[in-house]
Every structure is written in structure tokens, then in C-alpha cells.
Amino acid sequence: MDFSLTDTQQMTRATVRDFVEREIIPTSARYDESEEFPEAWAKKMGELGLFGIFVPPEYGGSGLDSVCYAITIEELSRGDASAAVIAAVCNGLACEPILRFGTEDQRREFLVPLAKGEWIGAYALTEPGSGSDAAALRTTARLEGDEWVLDGTKAFVSNGSQARVVIAYARTGEKKHDISAFLVPADAKGFTVSKKESKMGIRASDTVNLSFDGLRIPKGSLLGEMNRGFAIAMSTLDGGRIGIAAQALGIAQRALEESLKYAKQREAFGHRIAEFEGIQWKLADMATEIDAARLLMYRAARRKDLGMRHTYESSVAKLFASEAAHRAVDAAVQIHGGYGFVKDYVVEKLYRDQRVTEIYEGTSEVQRLVISRSVLGK
């Protein structure tokens, strides 16, 4: 078993880290404070090919593997988790389902500009009344002649007000899982951005509600087969959870780095606090759990690259990494003491940004359900 990264994977890490150090970290606090969408970051990420990392070059992508994708999201999150969310949604929740389930015409029309970074994409599954129970969604789609007509409301749509195309899920039959996926252009009549959320963390990430009021799209906008949208959504989330594991990991890695730096500088009782056993143990636990999370993430990404089922591995990686990150940011604030509670130190922001990694793309409770089903052989 080879645990080393390939030259391409190492180059990916170096390239993204350089971008993060030069352009994201210096402006991160400003965007966090203003809650403004970081258009400059998004433009540069698109130019670097970070919106279509594993999309083949013939469709405008970088043609890299899922390990490179995980590395990219980790490094972006180390700088600012909001940047990682923008890229993760474009890659895993927009590009991937079009690549896997779209027709050739759909790939040419929608995937190519997304992968090239010319467009931003979004994913609309959750609704005000359906979160973890995604199949309880109420948005409907009915076929009228050569058009689909969509009515409903979507909640917590990342990139929603910036997207040129949204992959939206709607009910198309009477049974609970009679759900279909649709490619919805943001300029379609009846498409409305109805609310922007003001959030605890990842505040530069655009999170909105969308309303579809008699929205009409061509018959060819159906993604995949009719009434098979729920399966598309769940398989998309398998890959998406690798991205959330990477996001949590990047936040935890930054928390460790900031804690090491502070512990070596801060003095108390005549000693640097890094000399105190209590601080050393916190740092040791952080480092150990970060390493474990990274290996779990790489395992899930590698299985995905091999075309193997990775539902269990992705859920394990997402669950462990997000909860390890929770412990890491908590320890980082504690190590910083009173300074960890003020915005002059980045660990305060890391503490806020981390929390959502245990919630979206499947809560920790849902991950435990997925994992237990696998363990029990259900």
C-alpha cells in the first residue's frame, strides 16, 4: 500500500496553497465581515481550473483525479472555507452529475462552461420542510407539451444567487421517491432568488432560498431518467461528502498551525505555553486526529477513482473529519485563551466555519445511519 502522493497531486497542493497564501488569506477577514460573495476568488479559481478538477479535458476540465480534488478543497479550506464551498459545489454537486448522467448535448451546453470556470453552478435539493428526509420534498414538475413546469421553494442553496445553472430536484410522480433532476438556467422565467441567509460561519459563501413559480424549461432539461432523481441526488452526495471531509480537514489543519504558532510564542508563568504538558497533549490529539481524517479522506477518494462503491467510506470520512475538526477548533480556541474569543485571531473564525461541516450534505446523525446500515449489512 502506497501512502505517497503522485507528482501531479503534490503539484496540485503546491499550486492551490500558493493561491491561498497570496489571494485568499489576506482578504479572508474582510469577506467574512461583509458577507460579500468573493468574486475575485471565484474568477481566479475558475482560471486555475478548480471548478472542473476531475472533468475530462474534452469537456473543459482539468482531467485530474478525486485525490487532487480532495487536496484542492483541503487547501482552499485552510485559507477560507467559503472559497472551498464555492469550488466544492461547482465540482461535486454540479459538474459531476452532469458528467455522469447528462446527455452529450447537456454536457456541451452546461458542463463545458462550468468546468472552464466561465459559469458557477448550484445544487437545489433541500427545502424549508425537508432536510435530512430529502425525499419529502414538495417542489413539483409537470410536463406540459414540450416544457417542464416547476413550482416550489428550495432552501440553503450554496452559490444560488451566483449560479448560471442549478441542478434542481422536483416531484414527478405519486410515490415518495418519484423525484427527477432538472437543469435549470438561472435566467429562466419564474426563477427567483427569494432570500439570502446571514450565517454563523462560511459567511462569504452565498447561501440563498430559490423560488420556482411556474418556471418553464425545455423538455430536454431532464437530467437522467424520469423518477430516478433521488438516486442521482444520493450518489452525488456520496462524492460530495469527500469534499466536506476535505473542508473540515483544512479547517482543522489551520487550527493546528495557528495553535502551534501561538503556543511557541505565548508565555505564562515564565515559560512558553508549548512547554506545558496540558498544551502538548492538546496539540498531539489534534495532529493525530488530523492525520487519521486525511487517510480516511484519501481512501474514499481513491475508491471513487477506481470506480468502486464508496458510500460507506465517504460517510466515515465525512463523519470523522467533521467531528475531529470540531475538537480541533475547540482546542485551538482554548489554547489561545481569551484571544481565541476575539476576531483579531483567526481561530475565532475557524470555530464558526467548522460547525456546518457536521450538518450539511448529511448531518452526523445521518452519517451514522448510513454507516450502521453498511455495518449491519442492510
Residue range 16-45, pLDDT digits in tens: 999 999 999 999 999 999 999 999 999 999
**Architecture of the CATH domain 7-119:** Orthogonal Bundle (1.10)
Contact 99, 59 (CB under 8 A): yes
User: What integer pLDDT is reported at residue 131 of this predicted model?
Assistant: 85
Task: Give the model's pLDDT for residue 2.
Answer: 79
At residue 44's C-alpha, the angle toward residues 39 and 344, to 5°, is: 65
Share of residues in the chain with pLDDT > 70 (%): 100
Pairing of strands 147-158, 207-218: antiparallel
Position 178 scores a pLDDT of 96
Does residue 323 surpass a pLDDT of 80?
Answer: yes
Within a 10 A sphere around the Cβ of 250, how many other Cβ atoms? 31
- 296, 295, 351: which is closest to 319 by C-alpha? 296
Among candidate residues 21, 144, 361, 365, the one labeled active-site is 361
User: Residue 155 has what pLDDT?
Assistant: 97
pLDDT at 1 over 80: no
CB 46 within 8 A of CB 215: no
* pLDDT score at 3: 82
Look up 75 and say whether it is catalytic.
no
Q: How many CA atoms does the CB half-sphere of 42 hold within 13 Å?
A: 23
| CA-derived radius of gyration, the chain | 21
Per DSSP, which regions of the chain are E strands?
A: 121-124, 140-144, 147-158, 165-171, 179-185, 191-196, 207-218, 222-223, 267-268, 271-272
Q: Mean of the per-residue pLDDT values for the chain?
A: 97
The Cβ of residue 297 has, within 10 Å, a number of other Cβ atoms equal to 31
Query: 264-278: per-residue pLDDT in tens?
Result: 999 999 999 999 999
Query: Smallest Cα–Cα separation from 84: which of 132, 9, 134, 19?
Result: 19
Is 243's pLDDT higher than 80? Answer: yes
Q: Note the pLDDT tens digit of each residue in 50-103.
A: 999 999 999 999 999 999 999 999 999 999 999 999 999 999 999 999 999 999
Secondary structure element (H or E) that encloses residue 229, with its range: helix 229-265
Q: What is the pLDDT of residue 207?
A: 97
Q: Do 7-119 and 230-376 agree at the fold level? A: no
**Residue listed under C-alpha cell 476568488:** 41
State whether CATH 1.20.140.10 applies to domain 230-376.
yes
Cell of 229: 432523481
CATH architecture of the domain formed by 122-227: Beta Barrel (2.40)
What is the rounded average pLDDT of the residues 173-193? 96
Q: Would you say residue 336 has pLDDT above 90?
A: yes
Residue 247: pLDDT above 80?
Answer: yes
Domain residue extents for the chain: 7-119, 122-227, 230-376
In this model, does residue 378 exceed pLDDT 90? no
